[in-house]
Amino acid sequence: MTFDLRTILQSKAALRLRLAAQPIGVKLRLLDELRARAVAIAASRKTAKPSAK
């Protein structure tokens, strides 16, 4: 692990390229999972009560 910004950005770019190079079946399964997560987050936002000040 590093806090060097250049290294962090390079590793992010490398991860994106690795993900992009995955077989389409793998990527579409990830989309399924990402959507399920986004729906769950949206639902929790709707039910979350605003905190009292």
Partner 1 sequence: MKIKEVIATINQMQRAGVIERYAIGGAVGATFYLEPVATLDVDIFVAFKTQPGSSLVSPQPIFEYLTQHGATVEGEYLVIAGWPVQFLPPTSPLGEEALAQAAEVDVEGEPTRVFSAEHLAALALQLGRAKDKARLLQFVENGALDADRFQTILTRHGLLEKWRTFGQQFLQP
Contact predicate 27/19, CB 8 Å: yes
The span of 2-10, 26-34, 43-51 binding partner 1 (CB under 8 A) equals: 26-34
Does the footprint of partner 1 cover residue 5 (CB under 8 A)?
no
Rule CB under 8 A: is residue 20 a binding residue for partner 1? yes
Q: Output the DSSP codes for 1-53.
A: ----HHHHHHHHHHHHHHHHTS-HHHHHHHHHHHHHHHHHHHHHHHHPPPPP-
Tokens of 17: 């390229």
Pattern 30-49, binding to partner 1, x per CB under 8 A? Answer: xxx-xx-xxx----------
In the complex, the residues that contact partner 1 under the rule CB under 8 A are 13, 16-17, 19-20, 24-25, 27-32, 34-35, 37-39
